[in-house]
Amino acid sequence: MPREPGSRRLMWVLLVMAILLALVFAGSVAWRSPGDYLPWIDGGAYTGVILLAALIAVLRAGRGGPQGPGWGLLATGMILYALGEVWWAVAGRFREEIVWLPLEDALWLAYYPVQVLALWLLMGKAPRRDRNLLDALVLSGGLLVTLAVLLQGWRPGTAAAEEGLVVAGLYVTGDLILMVLALLLAYVQRWRVSPGWWLIALGYLIFALSDSLYWVLSAYDAYVEGTWVDIGWLLSSLALAGAAILGLEALPPPQVQSLRGMVPAAIAVMLSGLALGWGPEGAFGDFARYAAIATLALALFRLNYAIRDAAEANEQRRRALIDDLTGLPNRHALHALPELPGKALASPTGWCLVALGLDRFADINASLGHERGDRLLALTAERLGGCLGPGDVLARLEGDEFAMLMRLADPSQTFAGAERLRAALEQPFEIDGVPVALTACMGVSATLDPVPAIGPLLKEADLAMHHAKREGPGLIRAYSGQEAPSSVHRLRMRARLRADFQDGGAAFELHYQPIVRIDNSALLAMEALVRWRQDGALVPPGQFLGEIEHAGLMVPLTTLVLHRAIAAIHRQGQGHAVTVNVSPELVTPWLLDQVRDALDRAGAPAHSLIVEVTEDALIRNPDTANEVLRALRVQGVRVLLDDFGAGWCGLSAVRDLAVDGLKIDRAFVARIHRDLPTRAITGSIVNLGRDLGLTVIGEGVEDAGEQAELEALGVEWVQGFAYAKPMPETALADYLSHHPPT
């Protein structure tokens, strides 16, 4: 176990001392008479607890880092509060004349703005932290109004100590702001924050409860010193000191909709309106009305921000689905089409999808220049849009590629839409007086399903389009499907797969294969591998995953695997991680929502999941894929590049990718001990991957020879039959109990 720094050990010693002083104070409360003032206890031990807690925060600030100033301000607030206690002990309690705001109250009240600023700094660069502060002000105002109304209703009449009511109410106001702000931080992070943040929230909550009780008692002249009420303020200081020792993890960007910013404002407006309309008479009732007016003003200010945030979020969602150059839907919009509100996609005669790629557009772009090339693409989109029939959709996929989805009026006329598009391009375009003739190759895919599965249709049409391009310009080709062994067999398999998903997916089972350290078998993670049980036997993935993809069932399968794998590994309760493979076409914002939902449902931390993607995901749409992978890593989910070396993604590109590691493809591992070029390439992958700070894993290791070669090349992590075969979940607990996580 690594040794703790000296300052950290000192912080623990100071915390123990503070706890002992707090116990001394609690012991005195148990045996003395209420109202007795014991200078060495009330002025000494009590203040000592707060000062020791402040010293712990000072030591934490002294360790530097981005949160250092925040801890320094938090310590300053606690010192101000302690100075108020000292002044009260030496002068305040002997005062005979009535002073509206004596020095001790001024020091105690100064605690709150300093603490708010400290919490603001501790939040770091978390986006929209100004919105969090406004939400805290508004919501705490609504809670304060409600509390005042309830207290007045509980104790009707005029309070005996009305002159101190406003000051005591200010204490409660500050407490509520701090407490709500700390809780809102946890809320916008979906309650997944480090223990240090929870201790801060707990400290402010205890402080708020103590001040609220003090407010009630002092307003009715019933508060006396040296009772159990006083212990709450000490517990709050101890909680803040504990947070300083544990430290605070940086807050990632919040993953909540901006419209949620309207919720606290709406609640506060409702509560404040009730207080203004029906609040009871009396000292607390008057306080509630003043607080309600201030809260309504803040709520209106916050609602203005919320409306702007909502408009900005809507614009971002719109732009995410629209191609900026042509104004057409993009690839993501085409995939999401069946799920978009107001899009009732249903055709009893089926659907046809045409993928269109302009011929030799790179040459045209080079000769005309990029600006004119963009104008030509915009004109092409406009002309193709004139071919749309009722219910048809035209999208720009990327570059010079477009796609059109159309209802089939006649299933025997699948080429009709493609012919319309070809006819539209026959007339030359004119760019700055220069005629430009365009041709295009097109691929056609059709389905008789009433609701189209966009992913498989687009993939088939894209394959057909590229076949056409290999044959010559201006050609139209239909998807043949010849790669499948039997059309009848494929159709039957797809039907059974759909039926099994409709039954809840019970026929799909997960087996788990470990990724271990090559020298000591320490466990990095368990990879979740899906199997399909048919007629009492398990069908390996290579025999059904292709049909899953063609049938448009990859989304429900990925959802099923994510939820089951995360829940299974989290049930073990040992902090292990599980890896889940994600198909390239699903590396979209959809994946972010699914990952968050699976983690939330299982109650699992983000670091328990590792997502594996292949190079195809990065080649198809590198910008979107990188954005999604970066967002996953911000959440705390790790990312591996699977089957590295099988595609076209080089290590120069890996340098810029949002991944934590890569898995060397089995094709390299299988030949590493009998093929010198393969061994040299593998060695380069290992060295460069290590230099880039990536975790390098050799997959598919089946014998001692492959293991020895990988170890000689410096590979640290391996996976394969040489270490363990995929195991069912029933064997998972026993395996994990003998292999603690790294």
pLDDT for residue 86 is more than 70: yes
Does residue 399 form part of some domain? yes
Number of domains comprising the chain: 2
Q: Is pLDDT above 50 for 484? A: no
In a domain, 599, yes or no: yes
Q: Say whether both 555 and 701 belong to one domain.
A: yes
User: Do 476 and 541 belong together in one domain?
Assistant: no
Classify strands 537-539 and 523-534 as parallel, antiparallel or unpaired. Answer: antiparallel
Q: Which residue is listed with tokens 């797809």?
A: 494
List the beta bridge partners of residue 579: 527, 610
Position 640 in a domain: yes
Residues 550 and 633 in one domain: yes
Q: What is the pLDDT of residue 584?
A: 81
| Residues 426, 472 within the same domain | yes
Boundary (domain end) residue, out of 430, 448, 483: 483
Question: DSSP H helical segments within 220-326, as ranges?
Answer: 229-246, 262-278, 283-321
The runs of H, that is alpha helices, within 648-703 are 651-654, 666-671, 676-691
| Residue that wins the pLDDT comparison between 8 and 127 | 8
Give me the CATH number covering residue 564.
Answer: 3.20.20.450
Q: Are residues 453 and 516 in the same domain?
A: no
pLDDT in tens, 545-572: 877 876 678 888 999 999 999 999 999 8
Domain boundary among 449, 483, 517: 483
- Stated as kind and residue range, the H or E segment containing 440 is strand 440-447
CA nearest to 570, candidates 529, 599, 530, 611: 599
Let me know if residue 125 belongs to a domain.
no
- For tokens 């105690």, name the residue: 108
Task: Report the 10 Å Cβ neighbour count for 388.
Answer: 15
- In the prediction, which pLDDT does 509 show? 93
How remote is the C-alpha of 730 from its chain's centroid? 31
Amino acid at 619: I
Q: Which two tokens stand for residue 597?
A: 């939902």
Helix, coil or strand: residue 643? strand
Q: Give the SS3 label for residue 515.
A: strand
pLDDT for res 354: 94
Residue 342, pLDDT > 50, answer: no
The two three-digit tokens of residue 137, written as one number: 């002000």
pLDDT at 529 over 90: yes
Pick from 559, 599, 584, 577: nearest CA to 695: 577
Q: Which two tokens stand for residue 136?
A: 């805290």
Residue 322 has pLDDT above 70, yes or no: yes
Reading the block at residue 494, the tokens are 């797809």
* Contact between residue 360 and residue 474 where contact means Cβ atoms under 8 Å apart: no
State the CB neighbour count (10 A cutoff) for residue 603: 11
Q: Tokens 């201006």 sit at which residue?
A: 474
List of residues 6+ apart from 337 with CB closer than 8 A? 329, 343, 345, 393, 405, 454
Question: Are the beta carbons of 361 and 439 closer than 8 angstroms?
Answer: no
pLDDT at 125: 62
Residues 428, 446 contacting (CB under 8 angstroms): no
The answer on 653 and 525 residing in a single domain is yes
Q: How far apart are CA 185 and CA 248, in angstroms?
A: 12
Q: CB–CB of 714/686 below 8 Å?
A: yes
Report yes or no: 337 and 394 within 8 Å, Cβ to Cβ. no
Does 661 lie in the same domain as 702? yes
Q: What percent of the chain has pLDDT over 70?
A: 75
The predicted structure's pLDDT at residue 595: 93
pLDDT, one tens digit per residue, over 96-151 is: 666 666 788 888 888 888 988 888 788 776 555 666 666 766 766 666 666 666 66
Residue carrying the six token digits 């005062």:
95
Helix or strand holding residue 614 (H, E): strand 609-614
Nearest residue to 558 via CA among 593, 523, 602: 593
The predicted pLDDT at position 157 comes to: 43
**Between residues 162 and 609, the one the model is more confident about:** 609
Q: Convert the pLDDT of each residue in 429-461 to its tens digit.
A: 888 877 888 889 999 988 877 778 888 888 889
Helix-then-strand count for the chain, H and E: 26, 17
State the Cα–Cα distance between residues 252 and 239, nearest whole angstrom.
Answer: 23
Residues 567 and 442 in one domain: no
Element (H, E) at 402: strand 401-407
Query: Strand, helix or coil at 450?
Result: coil
**449 and 548 housed in the same domain:** no
Going from the C-alpha of 566 to that of each of 528, 560, 597, 610, 659, the distances in angstroms are: 9, 10, 11, 10, 20
Could you tell me the two tokens for 674? 């009998």
Pure H helices in 155-248: 165-188, 195-219, 229-246
- Of 429, 451, 483, which closes a domain? 483
Look at residue 39 and give its three-state secondary structure: helix
Asked whether residue 721 is domain-assigned, the answer is yes
**Would you say residue 601 lies in a domain?**
yes
Res. 332: pLDDT tops 50:
yes
The pTM is what?
0.47
- First-to-final CA distance of the chain: 14
pLDDT at 57: 92
DSSP 461: H
In a domain, 156, yes or no: no
**Distance separating alpha carbons of residues 531 and 542, to the nearest angstrom:** 10
Kindly report the length of the chain: 742
- The pLDDT assigned to 255 comes to 45
Q: What range does the domain containing 377 cover?
A: 331-483
**Percent helix, strand, coil in the chain (nearest 5)?**
60, 15, 30
The amino acid that residue 274 corresponds to is L
Query: To which H or E segment does residue 117 belong?
Result: helix 103-122
Q: What is the pLDDT of residue 265?
A: 64
Most confident of 41-50, 219-228, 341-350, 483-492: 41-50
CA distance 579 to 515: 9
- Poorest-pLDDT segment among 301-310, 376-385, 398-407: 301-310
pLDDT greater at residue 727 or residue 227: 727
Q: Under a CB-based contact definition with an 8 Å cutoff, are residues 527 and 513 in contact?
A: yes
Pair (476, 524) in one structural domain: no
Flag whether pLDDT at 164 surpasses 70: no
Q: How confident is the model at residue 646 (pLDDT cuts 50, 70, 90)?
A: low
- Asked if residue 478 and residue 445 are part of one domain, the reply reads yes
Q: Is residue 682 part of a domain?
A: yes
- Residue 337's domain is classified under what CATH number? 3.30.70.270
Determine the Cα–Cα distance for residues 694 and 639; give it in Å rounded to an integer: 10
Tokens coding 124: 């770091």
Q: Distance between CA 125 and CA 66 in Å, rounded?
A: 9
Residue 532 structure tokens: 């399909």
Confidence of residue 161 (pLDDT cuts 50, 70, 90): very low
Could you give the 3-state DSSP secondary structure of residue 466?
helix
Contacts of residue 499, Cβ cutoff 8 Å, sequence gap at least 6:
none
pLDDT-based confidence at residue 478 (cuts at 50, 70, 90): confident
Rounded Cα distance, 450 and 678, in Å: 49
Same domain, 460 and 366: yes
What stretch of H or E contains 151?
A: helix 129-154
pLDDT the model gives residue 341: 44
